[in-house]
Amino acid sequence: MSEKEYVPKSKAGKWFNDRLPLLSLASHLTDYPTPKNLNYWWTFGGILTFCLLTQIITGIVLAMHYVAHADLAFASVEHIMRDVNYGWLIRYIHSNGASMFFLAVYIHIFRSLFYGSYKSPREIIWIIGLMIYLLMMAAAFMGYVLPWGQMSFWGATVITNLFSAIPLVGDSITTWLWGAYSVDNPTLTRFFSLHYLIPFLILGLVVLHIWALHIPGNNNPVGIDIKKPSKDTVPFHPYITIKDAFALLLFSIIFAGFVFFAPNVLGHSDNYIQANPMVTPAHIVPEWYLLPFYAILRSVPDKLGGVILMFGAIFILFVLPWLDTSKVRSSVYRPIYRQFFWILIVDVLVLGYVGAMPAEGIYLVLARVGTVYYFLHFIVILPVVGYFEKTEPVPLSISEPVLSGSADYSMAKKDNEKI
Amino acid sequence: MDKSEKKTTTRRDFLFTTSYTVGAVGLGAVIWPLIDQMNPDKAQKALATTEVDISQIEPGKSITVLWRGKPVFLKRRTQEEILEARSVSLTDLPHPEKDEERVKSGKDEWLVMLGVCTHLGCVPLSNKGDYKGWFCPCHGSHYDLSGRIRKGPAPKNMEIPKYEFVDANTIKIG
């Protein structure tokens, strides 16, 4: 992959590198040619890596004090909060870290949607990314069960019962997932085991995600193919590393704001009540990052239909690269798609909002409209717009709009028209 | 296909097929224990029965007991409630079941059922909802006085567990 063959300067380095080319890898990562016009929406890959490592490190520490048993889990979490040195800090970083992780991943995904980063030749990067997203949701869900509060217990009950909608084998699968006849101690212990496993699976997929990225190279805000290395690229280090570091600093301020000033604002107070299989809380809501899917689930008056649509809402993203028929990647040059992109954002936010509200009255109507539009966007709007949209002229290189006197894309367009 | 070609491919095919088959059976034999260990264990299955004293329950009242980690509603219905449950036409029911099929004959006042919503497993609240029976707060399913689903996303009536009257004052569930 390296553009020029790397040879270590020292004799020892050469000896080692001939046997295991780690130094070549480091050289590739340092010199990796990156489009020079990457904006701050491109810094979330680095931020997400930081989030994953934060969750792994704080998680390993929490596992040293946590007890995965239905009778002891709730008390052990309180023990972490009250007795363990800095336990409150580590737990609040871990619980808010999950929310920060999802915040970053949603920005990362919508950046890809706006700039067409999922399109050829980057489909595999996109699909691996979605697999990471699915694993993140599984990890977050199981992690939320571990404190064994009321929301833990009833969230686990509702989500595992989704599988009972499967015809014929549904009930057997649900019992198998539980290891009991309801969510109980066996469920808790296996969730703990899997919750510990999944982050390392994610780490492996992250390596593949980056590997797949380094084959075609980064997409960029203009969305055109670039020669690398060329005057359109800069080496990853120090140009991108310093930009990523600055963005990470700003992100950490928001992160720390939640941890120190509003550590419970994203959680639910019912989870500070120990799990009680006899009483369901009046209003069950999942964590905020799952609300749009929860709204889709509840919008369907049929059990199996709701489950199919909810999973469909995620799995439709896997075929997105083939649903989008436009040759132009970046929305900067797609005047029609650009508007539908923002409507989709509003749609997902509305679904998230109604997911937190009771499933009745106006909220149910909104959820249904939102659900229909969500699928309409991917199944109808995306393929059709790609065919009929008249895209704006795309510059031949990243340098072009800059060298012609302005970084403003509309100026570049005018220049194009003169030619 | 001439004779010699047929001979060579047949022998190879046989070896490949038998190897793959034996390998697949072996792999399955190794994987099955790893899957089955997640099913309910002997300790879970041992919790299969619960005996409940019902002598203190007044007509119109109900109690909730835990059986296999799930709540079980035991409701002693009044005559009016029984009549109301039986006056419903089966065509009005998403999951048609007569009230008589859901209770033991001669013990018509006792409704014993799993207090688990058949939608996604929440515990419905009693004396709530549009049909005076139960209402599930999670996703809005309404059940009637026989625990039958009437409105909402739940597909089935609340389940009747296996139970029997040990004597006049005791019910054994399971």
Q: For residue A278, list chain B residues with Cβ-Cβ distance below 8 A.
A: 64, 66, 71, 123
Domains of chain A by start residue, with CATH: 1-31 (no CATH), 32-417 (1.20.810.10)
B9 backbone dihedrals φ, ψ, rounded to 5° = -65, -35
Confidence (pLDDT) at A303: 82
pLDDT band at B6 (very low <50, low <70, confident <90, very high): low
pLDDT band at B8 (very low <50, low <70, confident <90, very high): low
Mutate to test the interface with B, among A161, A279, A300, A363 (most CBs of B within 10 A): A161
Collapsing DSSP to helix, strand or coil, A279 comes out as coil
> What does the CA dihedral B5, B11, B15, B17 come to, rounded to 10 degrees?
60
Maximum average pLDDT range among A30-44, A402-416, B128-142: A30-44
Q: State whether residue B41 sits within 8 Å of chain A by CB.
A: yes
Question: Reading across the β-sheet that carries B110-114, which strands appear in turn?
Answer: B62-67, B70-76, B110-114
Residue A74's Cβ-count burial label (10 Å; 0-12, 13-18, 19+) is: buried
Q: State whether residue B140 sits within 8 Å of chain A by CB.
A: yes
**What count of other Cβ atoms lies within 10 Å of the Cβ of residue A321?**
18
Residue type, A154: W
Confidence (pLDDT) at A298: 86
Q: For residue A359, list chain B residues with Cβ-Cβ distance below 8 A.
A: 139-140
Confidence (pLDDT) at A227: 82
Collapsing DSSP to helix, strand or coil, A285 comes out as coil
What are the structure tokens assigned to B47, written together?
A: 């919790």
Confidence (pLDDT) at B152: 84
The whole-angstrom distance between B48's CA and the closest CA on chain A is 10
Confidence (pLDDT) at B7: 61
Q: State whether residue A283 sits within 8 Å of chain B by CB.
A: yes
CA distance A413 to B98: 73
Block residue for tokens 């390296």: A2
Q: State whether residue B21 sits within 8 Å of chain A by CB.
A: no
Decide if pLDDT at B37 tops 80: yes
Residues 6+ positions from A361 with CB-CB distance below 8 Å: none
Mutate to test the interface with A, among B118, B130, B139 (most CBs of A within 10 A): B139
pLDDT band at B121 (very low <50, low <70, confident <90, very high): confident
User: So which residues of B are the catalytic ones?
Assistant: 139
Confidence (pLDDT) at A253: 98
CA distance B19 to B88: 63
Question: pLDDT digits over A352-396, tens only?
Answer: 999 998 877 899 999 999 999 999 999 999 999 999 999 999 988
Decide if pLDDT at A308 tops 90: yes
Block residue for tokens 């946590």: A66
Interface of A with B in 160-179 (CB under 8 A): 160-162, 164, 175-179
**Mean pLDDT of all residues in chain B?**
87
CA distance B163 to B174: 6
Q: In this complex, do B39 and A161 lie within 8 Å of one another by their Cβ atoms?
A: no
Block residue for tokens 């020029």: A4
Residue A362 DSSP class: H
Decide if pLDDT at A1 tops 60: no
Closest-CA residue of chain A to B34: A176
Maximum average pLDDT range among A227-236, A335-344, B63-72: A335-344
What are the structure tokens assigned to A105, written together?
A: 């991943």
Closest-CA residue of chain A to B155: A303
User: Residue A119: which of A331, A409, A340, A312 has the closest Cα?
Assistant: A331
pLDDT band at A302 (very low <50, low <70, confident <90, very high): confident
CA distance B27 to A240: 48
Q: State whether residue A113 sits within 8 Å of chain B by CB.
A: no
Q: For residue A284, list chain B residues with Cβ-Cβ distance below 8 A.
A: 122, 137-138
Decide if pLDDT at B28 tops 70: yes
Q: State whether residue B138 sits within 8 Å of chain A by CB.
A: yes
Residues 6+ positions from A103 with CB-CB distance below 8 Å: A289
